[in-house]
Structure 1
Amino acid sequence: MEILVLIVHVLLAAAIIGLVLLQQGKGAEAGASFGAGASQTVFGSTGNTGFMVKITALVAAILFATSFALAYFAKERAMSVSEVGIPSLQVIESAAERAQELPALEIPRSTSSGAASSDIPTAD
């Protein structure tokens, strides 16, 4: 089911790109007022503007629906992996247990001048 939704999603994305590219810009309507022959179009005297806008809106709505479906599938997959695999809480607890098993670092003792002997310079 997820593969089918993904294929439909990709096809809808390509369709919406094509529909947007096929539409005329706002400046294209200025030529129609000077007798560019807009009354002889296939879609009527208003041209294809209303038709293309409605189809684009429909494709965009379906694209959003497939986006939500893919997000739902991704959430379900993440939930099933966390139940089967190692949950993050167990990883944190095991790291805390291993940290207690590590040997403690020894703090260098101070020298006669009162400063700790180390390779790190100090500001005096």
Structure 2
Amino acid sequence: METIVLIVHVLTALAIIALILLQQGKGAVAGASFGAGASQTVFGSQGSGNFFSRMTAICAVVFFATSFGLAIIAKNKSGVGINADIPSVMEQQAPAEESDVPQVDGEAAPADEVPEVPAE
């Protein structure tokens, strides 16, 4: 199923690229009124714009749907869901005996007994 959706997705992407490249710009309509040969085209002077724009819109909807479908398929393959069992963080306390911080046997010296740094 994934392969089919992926093939449709790639073909739709290529179709969108081709349809966009085949479309004429907005400035090309002005040349048609002066006899630029637009009446000689397959779709007529105005028909190509409607056909290509409709086909581009249809391909864009199919591309969006296949993108969404591929995302759902990938999520289901990974096994991740809304109710996934995520392990909670447990707080651990280090044993007091194996601490790297040395223990002071007596009381700390008061702040007024701390010697000052000699000035240079």
- TM-score normalised over the length of structure 2: 0.70
Query: Which 4+ stretches in 1 moved above 6 angstroms?
Result: none
**Structure (1/2) with the larger helix percentage:** 1
SS at match of 1:112: coil
CA pair 108-3 structure 1, distance change in 2 beyond 3 A: farther
**Unaligned 5+ residue runs, structure 2?**
112-120
SS at match of 2:24: coil
- Residue 13 of structure 1: CA displacement? 1.2
- TM-score normalised over the length of structure 1: 0.68
> Cα RMSD (Å) of the superposition?
2.8
Is the CA contact 2:32–2:45 (under 8 Å) kept in the aligned structure 1? Answer: no
Length, aligned pairs only: 105
Q: Which amino acid aligns with 2:44?
A: G
* Aligned residue in 2 for 1:118: none
Percent identity, please: 55
- Residue 59 of structure 1: CA displacement? 0.8
Q: Which amino acid aligns with 2:76?
A: E
User: Within 5 A, what are the aligned runs for 1:1-124?
Assistant: 1-78=1-78, 80=79, 87-88=85-86, 90=87, 92-93=88-89, 96=90, 99-100=92-93, 102-104=94-96, 106=101, 111-114=108-111
**Unaligned 5+ residue runs, structure 1?**
115-124
CA pair 9-112 structure 1, distance change in 2 beyond 3 A: same
**Residue deviations 1:13-43, cap 9 Å, x none?**
1221121121111011111111112111111
Which fold has the larger relative contact order, with Cα–Cα distance below 8 Å and residues 6 or more apart in sequence? 2
